[in-house]
Amino acid sequence: MIIFKNIPLSGFLMVLITGTFYSCAPKPNTMPKNEYGLQVVGKDKTYALTVQTDTTKRMVALKGWLTPLIVDWKYATPDNFTHTILYKKPAAYVRQPT
């Protein structure tokens, strides 16, 4: 049992609250990296945190910005060297500052 002597209750609560927020805060640079050393964003939650940290990393669909957008998704058809459809719903995205 830990006994806190000579610490006012408000000071104890501030330390306790500060410690709680600190331990729940996301750790910087904890995203996994690929074999080239680039950070990999594989989950929506990670992407949202990345954008919240740096708004220049927000991705937008090109079809909303370029009209008409003409694309040829070879891997969305069996007309590729694998003869297999690899992408069911392909879409082109770019960072918003672009």
| Residues 29-49: tens digit of each pLDDT | 567 788 998 888 888 888 898
Q: What confidence score (pLDDT) does residue 15 get?
A: 37
**What is the DSSP code string of 50-91?**
HHHH-GGG-EEEGGGTSSS-----GGGSS-STT-S---SS--
Structure tokens at 75: 């891997």
pLDDT (tens digit per residue) in 51-92: 998 999 899 989 888 888 888 899 999 999 999 999 998 999
What does the block give as tokens for 58? Answer: 């927000």
Residue 77: predicted pLDDT: 93
Looking at residue 75, its pLDDT comes to 92
pLDDT at 14 exceeding the cut of 70: no
Q: 0.75 exceeded by the pTM?
A: no
